[in-house]
Amino acid sequence: MVSADDLTIDPDELLSHLAGTTILDARWTLGGPPGRDEYLAGHIPGASYIDLDTELAGKPGQNGRHPLPDPAALQMVLRDKGVTGGRPVVVYDAGEGHAAARAWWILRWAGHRDTRILDGGIAAWVAHGHPVTRETPDVTKGEIHVKPGSLPSITADEAAEIAHDGVLIDARVRPRYRGEFEPVDPAAGHIPGAVNRPTVLNTHDHGRLRPADDLRTEFANLGVLAGVPVGAYCGSGVTAAHTVLALHRAGRTDAALYVGSWSDWVTDPTRPVATGD
């Protein structure tokens, strides 16, 4: 079982292990601007940029806006960025943790267990007075062998089953859950039976992941108890990856991600849509 302590790393600890760590900059914002521009303007020394839209997801379509990437294509991407099975990986974003959590989840899903998130992202790194650079690193090609399915993912039908028999967490903001507005996808509302817990509740202190006991208590209040199936979804499987990260910290390493999420759910007009609370 992965220890909760293995999920994140603080800036000072990362600084002391830079030479032995593969670092991935996963900065991304829904609708832009491109995270690569932020990377080129300044990043953690030795970090390579990884693009959420094109490298941590497949092509958008019937399976949602950010479906699972093709394993062979993902393996090529990760090797090009120096990812090797026996070498630790640290991923980071601007600081909120959502894009980094998607990168963390994809790497763990691909079988790379020693992957952690920089707690607080590059904002915390800079706040600690650590250096940034504009130099693009000369990366030694990695040797990772992608083993898809090393973390559980679920389909639309399986998400509906968990909503009925367990706890399916909708990680979007409450107005989107209620169906009051939908800025991206063609229909507003939520999967019937899902409970709402916005991703922002997973963090404190400028994007740092909250303590295990706090998260465990809050998830238990939603019904996430021993033996109860649990899954998470959001708009397209990005912020929900952060909820899966938080569930891991709370001890639920079996938590499943509905990768296609709402953007996949609404591709089938026969699937029911709930609104309100």
What residues act catalytically? 234
What's the CA gap between 54 and 26, in Å, rounded? Answer: 12
Range 128-136 contact pairs with CB under 8 angstroms and sequence separation of 24 or more: 128/11, 128/12, 128/15, 130/11, 130/15, 130/44, 131/45, 132/42, 132/43, 132/44, 132/45, 133/42, 133/43, 133/44, 133/45, 134/40, 134/41, 134/42, 134/43, 135/45, 136/48
Q: How far is CA 190 from CA 3, 173, 225, in A?
A: 32, 11, 23
Asked if 189 and 209 touch (Cβ cutoff 8 Å), the reply is: no
Helix, strand or coil for residue 187?
coil
CB within 8 Å of 206: residues ≥ 6 apart:
95, 120, 123, 124, 127
Q: How far is CA 129 from CA 9, 13, 44, 214, 237, in A?
A: 16, 13, 12, 29, 33
Q: How many residues does the chain have?
A: 277
